Structure 1
């Protein structure tokens, strides 16, 4: 049994460390627009290229809270807060200065909505989180420098369906 574990460990070690050492890593951010919250968000993103045309992307989007006005009884603002975490696989179709890609992945959305327990009570926040699936595409504009502007369009399929339009820039780290 010990021998099998050692052999398996050596095989995994070999696979992990024989990968391309100069794999590209990018980090960046941008502005997003969500169709369901109907507001702008701030996005932080990072990519790790497994191969020249396949990247794993992780991102976090914080949408600016959407105000639906003041609740007269309490004099408080009625704001919806929306956050999302995404993990996608991006497949780049072409090489060159303009690089279109398709994406598919998972979405984890958290939505916080103010609610009343009963009439006359204080306002509390009710939070809900759901998992969805991402499908979409985008394009990177490789300007030959360390800055890569990009645009992305993706649709989240799930309980919190939403179309997201995103534009920003990524910076190569290596």
Structure 2
């Protein structure tokens, strides 16, 4: 059920990418992350979608390396609107974001 929701969300995101103007730019990346609440390291997959000089969309997927039988991951979506930019180094921007977090534990019954 949760994996299906993830695939639907990812599919909608990529459909949005395919339907947008040609001047848009897509950047992908991978990195390491750390979950301070669960105190575990993880991997971060990230996509930046630059639609215009003032509007950017960012999607993150974090998967944390937890102990056996325990799974924890998050899916984030953010929109950045740049109000002011000075020499491409200093920016004033607003951000809107949503997060979906999933945690499961296998208790070994059944």
Please report the TM-score for the alignment, with normalisation by the length of structure 2: 0.64
Query: What is the deviation of 1:99?
Result: 5.1
Aligned to 1:98: 89
Superposed CA RMSD in Å reads 2.5
Any gaps of 5 or more consecutive residues in structure 1?
Answer: 1-15, 68-76, 116-122, 125-174
CA distance 1:49–1:85, shift in 2 (3 Å): same
Aligned to 1:139: none
**Equivalent-residue separation in structure 2 for 1:39 and 1:102 (angstroms):** 30
The within-5 A match list for 1:33-48 is: 33-48=34-49
Any gaps of 5 or more consecutive residues in structure 2?
Answer: 1-18
Cα pair 1:37 1:82 within 8 Å, conserved: no
- Relative to total residues, which structure has the larger helix share, 1 or 2? 2
Please report the TM-score for the alignment, with normalisation by the length of structure 1: 0.43
Query: What is the deviation of 1:102?
Result: 4.9
Equivalenced residue count is: 89
- Relative to total residues, which structure has the larger strand share, 1 or 2? 1
Specify the structure having the higher radius of gyration (Cα): 1
**Equivalent-residue separation in structure 1 for 2:73 and 2:60 (angstroms):** 11
Query: What is the deviation of 1:80?
Result: 2.8
Aligned to 1:109: 101
